Structure 1
Amino acid sequence: MKKFLLLCLVSVFAFSLVACSNTTKKDESKGSSNEAKIPEKLTKPVTIEFWHAMSGNLEDTLKAMTDDFNKSQKNITVKLVNQGAYNDLSQKLMAAAKAHNSPVMAQAYEDWMTQYIQNHLITDLTPYIKDKNHGWSDEELNDIVSVFRDANTWDGKYYGVPFNKSTEILYYNTDMFKENNVKVPTTWDEFQDAAKKLTKKDGNKKVVGIGFENSIGLSFPTYVRQAGGQTINEKENKVTINTPEAKDALNFLNGMVSDGTARLAGEDGYMSGPFGRGDVAMYVGSSAGLSFVAKEAEGKIHWSAAPLPKGKEAATAFQGTNLAIFSSATDDEKLAAWEYMKFLTSKEQTARWAKATGYVPVRTSALDTPEWKEFVGKTPEYGVAVQQFDAGYYDPHIQGKSGVNDALFSEIQAVLLGQKSVDQGLQDAEKSAQDAVDKASK
């Protein structure tokens, strides 16, 4: 459980590649490594390393998929290298870049990739996507879910392809909803009303209507967007946390916590535990946690899942990593990595990955495969996240994003714990976040 929820928290960890050299092994010997020199074919065996942060069932599934890819290839072998948690992976990638010893490819979040691009560390994949021998057709490119495609685009160029993507959904206790004659909420008003009706004492046990993770600050931009605002103006490099829309969003969340109809995970660490015990009637959590929720709830409660209730607008952040190829790789290694990336993001494999892990397919066509339809027909909870594709957004590509996340994480939690007022929390969050952006932009 800790492993999966680390996905939601990873952007809290800041790391900088500014100290890294703007050249790589290939730069030093052959000029710019970002010049696409795509071989027509591979004429000799190539082995590449893929650094990742998957564990448990996620790693087992990745290994099985990679084994299948390797068996299908004559000249390509992919070697998986587990680098621990995401924070470990980011630190090791930074160290490898400084030592001019980067892997051929790795998982990477968008804010990592922004740093990499500024330091010429990863490859522009646009030539590979458009290559007549190895690329995607326009139909294949547009088949990638638009929010994921946009998230991997910098100045009109593609630097990654989406891999393990998830978003927040609403988990709810079906027995409690039935007993209290409560319908699944679809709006903020219905959300508040349901939380009130579901909050009650059951003997010596108090059931709270709604639960939020301790990391709710990282999800705060979703509620701001639902209120009609935004937290970052990418064009002006400005943080816009202290706004009327942000105040509406924080008052909405804080109001439920203050009146006792909502709670944070607190000492439980993660909300899936209290939900599985029946301590909360519903909670907002990552779709990647479906299997963990099922495990916590087994033999204790009956449950289901639904899209997030909306405010003035429907909005939900899609998070998770992408696949990137490092510039220091040789032309043959880059082509091998690209072929592997195409395999992992193919219609069949992304559906396979989603079914086994709880992440969402990254291709729209995967939703129409018989395998996926049969799967969500039997386990409809796994189909909830994809219902939110049209409401999906990604965090803007801004320098200092990790500092913005740090500010949101601490200041929003401080408000919800009663340590600061709504106004003070928003003021402090905006100041700290803007300071981080300004520092990173110098």
Structure 2
Amino acid sequence: MSRSRAFHALIIFSVLLAACSPQVIFLPLKTATPTLAPATPTATPAPSATPIPGAELGVSPAALRGVEINFWHGADGAQSALLAQLAIEFSLSNAWGITVKPTGWGNYYKLGGAVASAKTSSSLPDLLLALPEQEATWEQESLLAPLTPYLHHPEFGFSSAEQADFAPPLAETALTLTTVRSARLLAYNFTWARALGFESAPQTPEQFRQQACAANAAWRADADPTNDGYGGWVVDENPWTAYAWLRAFDAEPWNGETFAFNTPAAETTLTFLEQLREAGCAWVSDEAVNYAALPERKALFATINLAEVPEQAAAFRSSSDEWTLIAFPGEAGASYGADLALVPTSPARQLAAWLFARWLVSPEIQGRWATQTGYLPARLSALAQMGEYAAAHPQWAAAAALTAELGAPPLAARWGLARNLLGSGLGAVVIVGGDPRLVLEQMDETFKAVTGK
């Protein structure tokens, strides 16, 4: 089989395998001109009615009492338990008498299957916590209710300042509400970097190359040729790693209408990583996890997400070296997580679902959610309230300081497929040794073959 077909087959297999595994206006009264004739008594204006909160949404607060809403999510483990606890707290404390019934499906793949089944039997929930690409698909299928009437409601919505408090800020026509976020960042052994002569983290791809190659040169300096491959960046083909590298080179694959992989910026990105590996400044590990590589100085850089911070910190306990989290060169990174979306039901149920969603993204609850998961809160004001947690978790604090640089992924129905292609493409170049331009062409071809676009 030719190398071209081999790479093509590899990409298609990886993608398909991954594919299987959202006033009353008062007019001024006219004053009568005085005359000698007796004045005609002026009728007293009728008192204006006090606006009822929620009237514009077709429901009064009284109609919310006793409403029970169903809340489905794909979280698992401790996060699922936290959401169950938050549902109980809201049900017992909210002023409207709303009850929330949460259902956790264990993962987002199962959640998607549950929604697919429920839409055929008209048994959809009132509120969903799901992946953005799932919600983009459901929006195309008219399964989601617009947020605009609630976002800008004077009583139940968000002010302009509150919308700007989200990271990134809420759009005027937002489809979903952002919740806590994980992030894909570089773990960096800065003690070793200083020993190599570098006083600060790399800010550009060239500075990254210099530090990675200096780390590899340190291993080559001894008499043992079997360890000459260590140092630099320990390679992984995680799709979020691929996306973060692309963002570092301004190679965003989403152009607003579709995904285009074969671009000059994307080729520059993969060529840089290919050359890094060929020079020995990046290496592929045989281990399933590589937390020990940094404290053992076998790597200067490794890519992890926020959920992996405890494991990486544990690996450093037996080392005197210190580490932190840094952005990819160019102050880039990738943040990701699940969003809240409303399902069209009745005015009362939709408002009840919105009120629970609004409570979940409040600074106080976002702070609690972030503290218990190690993720980043959706609200900047929540970050400001987490000083004690930040002091006890310096790597998390380093990630939080990068919030402005962590771009949100595309809100596109095919983002899941595109993301898997990114990981496959990264592996095809940096691990297998494929030609960057050829791999990018095949990524475009695969995307078009699967989507028909």
TM-score by length of 2: 0.78
1:273 is displaced (CA, Å) by 5.7
Question: Per the alignment, do residues 344 and 212 of structure 1 end up closer, same or farther by CA in structure 2, a change over 3 Å counting?
Answer: farther
Question: Per the alignment, do residues 398 and 61 of structure 1 end up closer, same or farther by CA in structure 2, a change over 3 Å counting?
Answer: closer
Partner of 1:320: 337
SS of 2:181's equivalent in the other structure is strand
Partner of 1:105: 127
SS of 1:323's equivalent in the other structure is strand
SS of 2:423's equivalent in the other structure is helix
Distance in structure 1 (CA, Å) of the matches to 2:273 and 2:18:
25
1:10 is displaced (CA, Å) by 12
Q: How many residues align?
A: 397
SS of 1:263's equivalent in the other structure is strand
Distance in structure 1 (CA, Å) of the matches to 2:209 and 2:250:
19
List per-residue Cα deviations over 1:76-107 (Å, max 9, x = no partner): 22222221122222222222223322122121
Partner of 1:245: 265
Counterpart check, 1:428 vs 2:451:
no
Partner of 1:213: 236
Q: Is the Cα contact below 8 Å between 2:240 and 2:334 reproduced in 1? A: no
Partner of 2:411: 397
Distance in structure 2 (CA, Å) of the matches to 1:333 and 1:230:
39
Q: How does 1:334-413 map to 2 (within 5 A)?
A: 334-369=350-385, 372-413=386-427
Structure 2: gaps (5+ residues): 1-13, 21-55
Give the aligned residue type for 1:322: D
1:41 is displaced (CA, Å) by 4.3
Distance in structure 1 (CA, Å) of the matches to 2:19 and 2:235:
24
Give the aligned residue type for 1:193: Q
1:143 is displaced (CA, Å) by 1.5
Partner of 2:106: 84
- RMSD (CA atoms): 3.0
Give the aligned residue type for 2:139: I
Give the aligned residue type for 1:182: F
Of stretches 200-209 and 169-178 in structure 1, the one that deviates more from structure 2 is 200-209
Partner of 1:21: none
Instruction: Give 1 or 2: higher strand fraction.
Output: 1
Give the aligned residue type for 2:432: G
Question: Per the alignment, do residues 127 and 283 of structure 1 end up closer, same or farther by CA in structure 2, a change over 3 Å counting?
Answer: same
Distance in structure 2 (CA, Å) of the matches to 1:93 and 1:62:
19
Partner of 1:227: 249
1:118 is displaced (CA, Å) by 1.1
Distance in structure 2 (CA, Å) of the matches to 1:144 and 1:110:
16
Q: Give the alignment partner of residue 281 of structure 2, picking from 261, 268, 274.
A: 261
Partner of 1:31: none
Distance in structure 1 (CA, Å) of the matches to 2:418 and 2:17:
8
1:342 is displaced (CA, Å) by 1.4
SS of 2:261's equivalent in the other structure is coil
Give the aligned residue type for 2:203: T
SS of 1:146's equivalent in the other structure is coil
Question: Per the alignment, do residues 415 and 71 of structure 1 end up closer, same or farther by CA in structure 2, a change over 3 Å counting?
Answer: same
Distance in structure 2 (CA, Å) of the matches to 1:12 and 1:392:
28
Counterpart check, 1:121 vs 2:143:
yes
Give the aligned residue type for 1:396: P
1:12 is displaced (CA, Å) by 8.8
1:173 is displaced (CA, Å) by 2.6
Question: Per the alignment, do residues 110 and 67 of structure 1 end up closer, same or farther by CA in structure 2, a change over 3 Å counting?
Answer: same
Of stretches 137-146 and 217-226 in structure 1, the one that deviates more from structure 2 is 217-226
Question: Per the alignment, do residues 298 and 12 of structure 1 end up closer, same or farther by CA in structure 2, a change over 3 Å counting?
Answer: farther
Counterpart check, 1:416 vs 2:436:
no
Q: Give the alignment partner of residue 132 of structure 1, picking from 132, 154, 159.
A: 154
Distance in structure 2 (CA, Å) of the matches to 1:263 and 1:79:
48
List per-residue Cα deviations over 1:187-243 (Å, max 9, x = no partner): 21221121122232787766432124331x443343333323331211xx3433212
Give the aligned residue type for 2:287: D
Partner of 1:72: 93
Distance in structure 2 (CA, Å) of the matches to 1:245 and 1:392:
19
Of stretches 45-54 and 113-122 in structure 1, the one that deviates more from structure 2 is 45-54
Counterpart check, 1:332 vs 2:362:
no
Of stretches 159-168 and 405-414 in structure 1, the one that deviates more from structure 2 is 405-414
Partner of 1:195: 212
Partner of 1:46: 67
SS of 1:107's equivalent in the other structure is strand
SS of 2:184's equivalent in the other structure is strand
Q: Give the alignment partner of residue 308 of structure 2, picking from 286, 289, 313.
A: 289
Q: Is the Cα contact below 8 Å between 1:107 and 1:324 reproduced in 2? A: yes
Q: Is the Cα contact below 8 Å between 1:54 and 1:84 reproduced in 2? A: yes
List per-residue Cα deviations over 1:4-62 (Å, max 9, x = no partner): xxxxx9999559xxxxxxxxxxxxxxxxxxx9534434443222232223233323433
Q: Is the Cα contact below 8 Å between 2:237 and 2:426 reproduced in 1? A: no
Distance in structure 1 (CA, Å) of the matches to 2:196 and 2:279:
19
1:274 is displaced (CA, Å) by 4.4
TM-score by length of 1: 0.80
Question: Per the alignment, do residues 437 and 315 of structure 1 end up closer, same or farther by CA in structure 2, a change over 3 Å counting?
Answer: farther
Distance in structure 2 (CA, Å) of the matches to 1:178 and 1:70:
53
1:117 is displaced (CA, Å) by 0.9
Question: Per the alignment, do residues 395 and 339 of structure 1 end up closer, same or farther by CA in structure 2, a change over 3 Å counting?
Answer: same
Distance in structure 1 (CA, Å) of the matches to 2:87 and 2:430:
44
Distance in structure 1 (CA, Å) of the matches to 2:115 and 2:158:
28
- Name which one, 1 or 2, has greater alpha-carbon Rg: 2
1:428 is displaced (CA, Å) by 0.7
Q: Is the Cα contact below 8 Å between 1:213 and 1:270 reproduced in 2? A: no
Q: Is the Cα contact below 8 Å between 1:208 and 1:280 reproduced in 2? A: yes
